[in-house]
Every structure is written in C-alpha cells, then in structure tokens.
Amino acid sequence: MVPMLTLALRLARRFPDDAALLAELREDKLVRRTIDACEFLAQAARERRTVTVAELAAAVKLPLSGPAQAANARSVATILAALTTSDFEGARPLLTALVRRRDGKPPPPAFFALVDDFGLLAPYDDEDAFLADETARVHGAWAA
C-alpha cells in the first residue's frame, strides 16, 4: 500500500497543475487523504508549527475515536509512512517530522523505526537531536 501512495504523491507533486490527473488520483479515498495530509503538513511547515497525530487524522477525516478508531489509526500510520518514504526518496526534508503525539511528545515509534531503516538516525546521538534538526529543516524549506 505504501508504494502505491508514494507513487500517487510523486505524481501529485510532479504535476500540481494537472487538474485531470489530480482528480483521478483523488478518486481513491486513501490517496486523497494522503495528498490532503501532505497539504496539511505543508501548511503547518509554512507556519513553522507542529501538529498532533489527532489533528492530522481529523484534517483528513480519519478521527481517532469511535468505532472506527483502530482502522483509522492504521490508515493514518500508512499515510505517515507513505509521506515519510516519499520525502526520503525525493531527498526532501521529512514533513512527518512535524507530527507529534499528544502533549508535545515525539512522533510515534514507527516514525523513528522508518527513518532508522533509511539510515537517517545514524549520524545522531539520539532521536531528539534528529527530530530537532529535521523539524528545523522542514520549517526552513517550507517557510522560505
């Protein structure tokens, strides 16, 4: 699922003015939500802020409460993995570094596992240092 979402993001980013392509991509709910999540995080980056997982989930209409909570949480995790992978493959700062858990806690452990798989944690002494640097990179890239 992540490779398909990554491809959809690549197409949406490469052809942002192609209305027909974007409409076709958005026909799939998960692709639409992934593109919406990217846009939501890009806006947060331009505003130099972070967001919570719950805020992101609500923005893409996947609330993390109620009877669909577990399924929605899995969808949000898939979306975050696709966004992280897409940014890594495109050699861009990771927008997902702006996503925090409740009360300002660092991103979910799956985020750090994925960036570690990509080799991005290796130069750092700890996850907090990586997160601070990556958040600054994201803000710098999008706020400029």
- The pLDDT tens digits of the residues spanning 86-141 come to 999 999 999 999 999 988 899 989 999 999 999 999 999 999 999 999 999 999 99
Q: Which residues pair with 52 in a beta bridge?
A: 100
Tell if the pTM clears 0.85, that is, is over it: yes
Four-residue CA torsion sign, 16, 140, 46, 107: positive
Other CB atoms within 10 A of residue 106 CB:
15
Q: Which residues pair with 99 in a beta bridge?
A: 51
